[in-house]
Structure 1
Amino acid sequence: MDFRIADTFTDSLARLTGEEQKLVKTTAFDLQMNPVNPGMQLHKIEQSKDKHFWSARINRDLRLIVHRTASSFLLCYVAHHDQAYRWAERRKLEAHPTTGAAQWVEIRERVEDIIVPSVPSAPLSTASLSVKPALFAHCSDDDLLAYGVPAEWLADVRAADENALLSLADHLPAEAVEALLDVATGGQPAFAMAAPPGADPFAHPDAQRRFRVMHDMEELERALDFPWDKWTIFLHPAQRQWVERDYAGPARIAGSAGTGKTIVALHRAVFLASSQPDSRVLLTTFSDTLAYALHDKLRRLISNQPRLAERLEVLSLNAIGQRLHQAQRGQVHIASYEELRALMQASWAECAPSLGNLKFSISFLLSEWEEMVDAWQLDHWEAYRDIKRLGRKTRLSEAQRAALWQVFEALRAKLANRRVTTWARLFTQLASVQSQRSAVGQTPIFDHVVVDEAQDLSVPQLRFLAALAGTTPNGLFFAGDLGQRIFQPPFSWKSLGVDVRGRSRTLHINYRTSHQIRVQADRLLGPEVSDVDGNTEDRRGTVSVFNGPEPVIGLFGDEEQEICAVADWLRARVAEGMPARGIGLFVRSDAQIGRAQAAAKRAALGHTVLDGRLAAITAMPGAAPDALNICTMHLAKGLEFRAVAVMACDEEVLPLQERVESVADKADLEEVYNTERHLLYVACTRARDQLLVTGVELGSEFLQDMQDIG
């Protein structure tokens, strides 16, 4: 007998209190050990249309709903007595007549229309009626069934208009919802795979996304310790076509937060490794934190194919760069930001007597060095004089550039004297080595490179990747969202030999963030986002697959009032049964961490302030302690929580006043404002179900944009 759990069970378990969850887990372990144990007090649910539903008594009020047949024992749902029974009475488990996938089918209840006499009123004019067209009237029954729509719901689907679609989605299997959303937004979804006659309904890919076999107690314990990870294992057919396609050159998958870009990248890496037995694949991203999270997800994805791990490397770009440099050129010391700032200050002071009245802040000098001189490895005056300062809107005359070049040459000399280098120089040297290897026909270190969060790649990193795998078939595959670019200024990929034009696709179905949160967060960005090479990501038509509460945006008279309000909100989430580790609390920078800690203490919640290492642990489901997670918006990148509070969004905090004041020319303000908007967008879209955004009056101007309905 196969012992399974359903996603409906883990979702309902998460809504219980901590003590209730412990009781349920104990019962689940007992059932796994002996499903027919008479001490479990299993009672058949006679009112259910599905005669295989049983109820297991946990305590006086809690009931665990199970589905039991001769070959399968399935944990379905857990709740208090009446709610648990209502759930079972309104559902049945069956194989879909067309696809063959095991799915929950919600019983439609016939509601008789009751005509209530009323006082006659003036008839409505046709102009006042707003009748929206049915979205799926043109679809045949065969098509709807092939999308996974249960037969009982065909009439409802055919009658659904724009307003009814998301409400209807709450009653249908996920594969049907996604196909209908795709149709509603102008797409042409592929039909679900039809299983051969006699096939196991639970073996169908659509069934495996919601039902999971538990082979032993350790596996069950892991499954109950963290939320159902639907999108690590299952790949929707709409995404699969981009995973398995052959590309003549570099390719890129785009899409707003929550549309499954990371999952596509993971599956692309596995596909390349499994379809070409001798190939070596690098799966990488720009930070150690995100690389750790990718490694954990990949481990679970290929758990049944452990030998693939021998040819799949998961490392951050800095980590792989350091390893290759050590192997090819020896050990190297990378200058930290603090070292660079101190050396820049010394270089400026050294050159100041010959610079006359030239005035630039250290922040501007550092950004000019990092984004222009160091990034492009400009090693002589003429190169700096002639470079197009793309993304650097501050205008500099030739005389100003000549003066600044003195400072940069002094900095370069100080770095050389101390035998330290920069990441930009390291990646540029590695790119040169890789180009030389290719020129003499040496075997490439990696045959394929898959890059997640590609929007935050730097110039030298992309140059290195282009040299590493840019000329091989299917060599480079990128996943990213220009709307989430928070670390790097824009630059031309094409100029570095990475041209994704014609091989760039945008995903439009949001699996992670509720419709309400997504709509509010999207107001921070325009309907289209374009890169320097003219590739455009059209964000219009993106849809979420589930509903949730409306986000709450609040401004308060002072910090104390804000802290009290956030604490009340946090307590309310925990009172609903949400574990503390399922909640994220974000602020703009370290300067506001104290406010977040004060809110956590006022709510009497244990909390952890995340650094890069702890953020990586938090990104691994089940690894984090049951404590509220506090961090800056930058570190929130790549994390996901059921509920998120973004606080301290004050007038001079977002955008950060320090960044605004460091701008030497008003034209540079646009880039500052864009990245600060992106940062708030990233923070808000870490939330799945509930979002709170707060600040002290007047508040950030971005909050007005989020609330603007016009």
Structure 2
Amino acid sequence: MAKLVIASNSKAMPTLDRSVKAKVLSFFETLDADDAASVAHVESPHDAADHRVRTGRVDQDHMAILFHIDLHGESTYIYLGTWPQPDASRLAARSTLRINPINGALEGIIGELDGSSDRRKRVIVPDPRGELARSLSRTITTTAYLPGREITLEDLTERLGVDPAIAEMAMAAPNPDALRQIADYGLEWEKSALVELSVGASIDAVRTTHGFDENPIDHSKSEDEQILQALDQPASKMQFAYIEDDEELRRVIEEGDFAAWRTFLHPQQREYVERNYNGAFRLSGGAGTGKTVVAIHRARRLAMEDPNARVVLTTFNKTLALALEADLKSLDPSIRIAAALGEPGVHVRGIDALAREVLDQADEVSEAFQFVLGASFPPKTSRTRAEDAWNEAIDAAGRLDAKLATPGFLENEYVDVVLGNNITTVEAYTRVARPGRGVRLSRPQRVAVWKVVEAYRRQSRADGTISFPEVLAVSARYLQLRNDAGLPPIADHVVVDEAQDLHATHWRLLRALVPEGPNDLFLAEDSHQRIYGRPVVLGRHGIKIVGRSRRLTLNYRTTAQNLHFAVGILSGAEYTDLEEREESTTEYRSARRGPVPELVACTDLNDELDNIASRISDWLAEGFEPESLAVLTRSAQTRDLVIRGLKERAIEARAVSDNPRPTGHVQVLTMHRSKGMEFTNVVLAGLDDAHVPAIASIRSVPEEERSDALLRERSLLYVAASRARDQLVATWCGNLTDLVPTASQEAGRNE
């Protein structure tokens, strides 16, 4: 059987209709199944510049261009695309496959159609001497962007290996924006390298992130052996990928764009997918930097590496977990999805559901319940309304300081301190440390709080109910008892997305779920997107990172203008990460350009709805799909109001809640619900100071904790603003919220 390597070359190859794609698929299925039987359909072009080049007959009108590598009788075909006849034969005769002599990356070079034997067009690269090149000065001056940073032409060609024609244009680029435009003319690794230079990276940093110094080509080997070695270079993997089976081949051919996020990763992302870590690893990064993509790829890699491995892929809630599972299946439809915890494969669940599953599978849980709650008999049902339960407990317990007598404070105290430390007595509670809690408590205050906790627990026993944090704490204790008894763990690897939103009992469950060891915990998080949890320090919950932490800073989703707007919302606030270190936004960059976000002040609610409807109507008229457009609101009440207003204005809109996203309609959802999603164009509605920040969310916590509540409000607006890929519009009536710096609009014009 032949091995197949496919190139991400959709820019070089003409668009193929569905019938031709089906024939391409059939051709390669035959080639993969029996290389020898396919010889009649694969030919060497006459007078070919490269003896390895072949054409494969797809049908009477189309031929594939590929290179044949024969190593010890084993065939590898490198597919560069399919073209109509007779163009394919002429292109193939002038095409070559080579190894970049500077960085070791593999490059497929497609010949030109103008008859000039000495000109080449590299895979996915349009003619670099086109309109953009003519618009740039051919004279390199110190006023250009790269020379102004003391980067030379030799740095690009002799240290990075950039094609000389593209390097000359890059050196003439007057600013980062022009350099990013030139980057589109290059191979995938060239594009990535020039984009990194455009956002301030050094030549040395570019070499490192693209793996140019790793695995140098062994020139003592044969040419074909060197080519196969080059395929393993990090930069090569941005463009070339082995196709493992027919299902993957079908998906790649039919989707046309080769589903780039699934197959071709940036070398830095691929490193975090493939590297082994001797313990827990934390990957941080801003919105749109690819953390979730890395987490999904890593879960797949761990499962594929060991068919018996039990991999848990989890996140903050059920909705996000369903999205992770859908993306995992899209990445690899053949991936083994484990239906139950403890089975081989990838088990995808929200973390609260994971805790309940632990208890449902357990034979004996009385000891765990006794240890955590002081009661041996497990409750029968889950309690979902913590606010009502705490209010009843306050009434039952009697006197409590007003600033402490709020469901918000008591719930956080209960989860972070009481359950987080398995406290069951007043004596233990009066002695326990309370790091991270904003309100200091005297001993009498602790005693009074404990009386409320006891009332809360008595009520639970009487009702036969249990809260989700209690389920987590009991599940963690049950797993710890199993571990202490020497029983085998029920998971080998755990991958966590949106880790910043987890609280103390979540972390206790995760630590108990998988023993410390190689590749035990992989955590993807962004402290700037913490909209639910409280600040947590992993070391206090037995999770030791000890230097195994990295950060992604290049945004792949949001334009530079939208990113500038979103980061401006965080300006002036102080954030800390899961290792209690300051978290900064100074290195966040985007490689994409777009319009400056628009701030639209409205006279009243009807005027605001008119503006929203007008903007959406314009987008629909421009050809945007309805489901790619979204209106985000701070509350469900405002969401429903917007939906009614849009329908009255003849725009079909649907609410997005816990159900899958509807198609064929404009999406209207709360900012909380938008987490983990993206849209082409977004309207942030209702950004007046009466709704953002939400007054209730600030007033429901003691004065000492309001600064953290305001951080969560900032983070929520940051999450919402970073959902837009291209266009972002903010509307309000009344006074604009102070969380939106109006200066960001003008500054974004120069971003």
Q: Same fold (TM over 0.5)?
A: yes
- Which digits, 9 at most, give the CA deviation of each residue in 1:37-90, with x for residues without a partner? xxxxxxxxxxxxxxxxxxxxxxxxxxxxx98656789689xxxxxxxxxxxxxx
Alignment of 1:172-321 (within 5 A): 172-183=186-197, 184-186=200-202, 187=205, 188-191=208-211, 205-207=237-239, 223=255, 229-303=259-333, 310-321=344-355
Measured after TM superposition, the shift of residue 273 of structure 1 is 2.6
Specify the code of the residue in structure 2 equivalent to 1:436.
L
Aligned mates of 1:596, 1:172 — CA distance in 2: 44
Cα RMSD of the aligned pairs, angstroms, is 4.2
Q: Secondary structure at the match of 1:445?
A: coil
Identify which of structures 1 and 2 has the higher relative contact order when contacts are C-alpha pairs closer than 8 Å and 6+ apart: 1
Aligned with residue 154 of structure 1, among 129, 153, 167: 167
The verdict on how the C-alpha distance between 1:12 and 1:595 changes in structure 2, with shifts beyond 3 A counting, is farther
Alignment of 1:381-420 (within 5 A): 381-420=426-465
1:686 aligns with 2:723: yes
Measured after TM superposition, the shift of residue 680 of structure 1 is 0.6
Measured after TM superposition, the shift of residue 702 of structure 1 is 1.0
The verdict on how the C-alpha distance between 1:653 and 1:351 changes in structure 2, with shifts beyond 3 A counting, is same
Aligned mates of 1:347, 1:494 — CA distance in 2: 32
Alignment of 1:358-373 (within 5 A): 360-373=405-418
Q: 1:568 maps to what in 2?
A: 614
Measured after TM superposition, the shift of residue 376 of structure 1 is 4.0
Q: 2:18 maps to what in 1?
A: 29
The verdict on how the C-alpha distance between 1:516 and 1:599 changes in structure 2, with shifts beyond 3 A counting, is farther
Q: Secondary structure at the match of 1:594?
A: helix
Measured after TM superposition, the shift of residue 639 of structure 1 is 0.9
CA contact (8 A) 1:381 1:402 kept: yes
Measured after TM superposition, the shift of residue 106 of structure 1 is 2.2
CA contact (8 A) 2:394 2:405 kept: no
Aligned mates of 1:568, 1:212 — CA distance in 2: 48
Q: 1:139 maps to what in 2?
A: 155
Specify the code of the residue in structure 2 equivalent to 1:496.
H
Q: 1:324 maps to what in 2?
A: 358
- Which digits, 9 at most, give the CA deviation of each residue in 1:669-700, with x for residues without a partner? 21111000000111111111111122223121
Aligned mates of 1:521, 1:177 — CA distance in 2: 25
Q: Secondary structure at the match of 1:677?
A: helix
Aligned mates of 1:11, 1:407 — CA distance in 2: 69
Percent sequence identity is 26
- Which digits, 9 at most, give the CA deviation of each residue in 1:430-472, with x for residues without a partner? 2222222222322211111111111111111101111222422
1:168 aligns with 2:173: no
Q: 2:664 maps to what in 1?
A: 626
Specify the code of the residue in structure 1 equivalent to 2:678.
E
1:469 aligns with 2:514: yes
The verdict on how the C-alpha distance between 1:112 and 1:313 changes in structure 2, with shifts beyond 3 A counting, is closer
Measured after TM superposition, the shift of residue 533 of structure 1 is 3.8
- Which digits, 9 at most, give the CA deviation of each residue in 1:465-490, with x for residues without a partner? 11222422221110110110111111
Specify the code of the residue in structure 2 equivalent to 1:269.
A
- After the TM superposition, which of the residue ranges 500-509 and 601-610 deviates more from structure 2? 601-610
CA contact (8 A) 2:479 2:512 kept: yes
Aligned mates of 1:213, 1:603 — CA distance in 2: 50
CA contact (8 A) 2:391 2:406 kept: no
Q: 1:442 maps to what in 2?
A: 487
Q: Secondary structure at the match of 1:523?
A: helix
The verdict on how the C-alpha distance between 1:707 and 1:210 changes in structure 2, with shifts beyond 3 A counting, is farther
Measured after TM superposition, the shift of residue 319 of structure 1 is 2.0
The verdict on how the C-alpha distance between 1:641 and 1:531 changes in structure 2, with shifts beyond 3 A counting, is same
Aligned mates of 2:358, 2:667 — CA distance in 1: 35
Specify the code of the residue in structure 1 equivalent to 2:182.
L
- After the TM superposition, which of the residue ranges 476-485 and 342-351 deviates more from structure 2? 342-351
Gaps of 5+ in 2: 25-60, 67-78, 84-93, 109-122, 218-223, 366-377
Q: 2:596 maps to what in 1?
A: 550
Measured after TM superposition, the shift of residue 577 of structure 1 is 1.3
Aligned with residue 596 of structure 1, among 628, 642, 653: 642
CA contact (8 A) 1:281 1:311 kept: yes
CA contact (8 A) 1:588 1:648 kept: yes
Specify the code of the residue in structure 2 equivalent to 1:300.
S
- Which digits, 9 at most, give the CA deviation of each residue in 1:374-404, with x for residues without a partner? 4444322233323443333234333333222
The verdict on how the C-alpha distance between 1:577 and 1:113 changes in structure 2, with shifts beyond 3 A counting, is closer
Superposition TM-score, scaled by structure 1 size: 0.78
Q: 1:119 maps to what in 2?
A: none
Aligned mates of 1:668, 1:114 — CA distance in 2: 55
The verdict on how the C-alpha distance between 1:134 and 1:557 changes in structure 2, with shifts beyond 3 A counting, is farther
Measured after TM superposition, the shift of residue 512 of structure 1 is 1.5
1:638 aligns with 2:685: no
1:658 aligns with 2:696: yes
Aligned mates of 1:93, 1:425 — CA distance in 2: 65
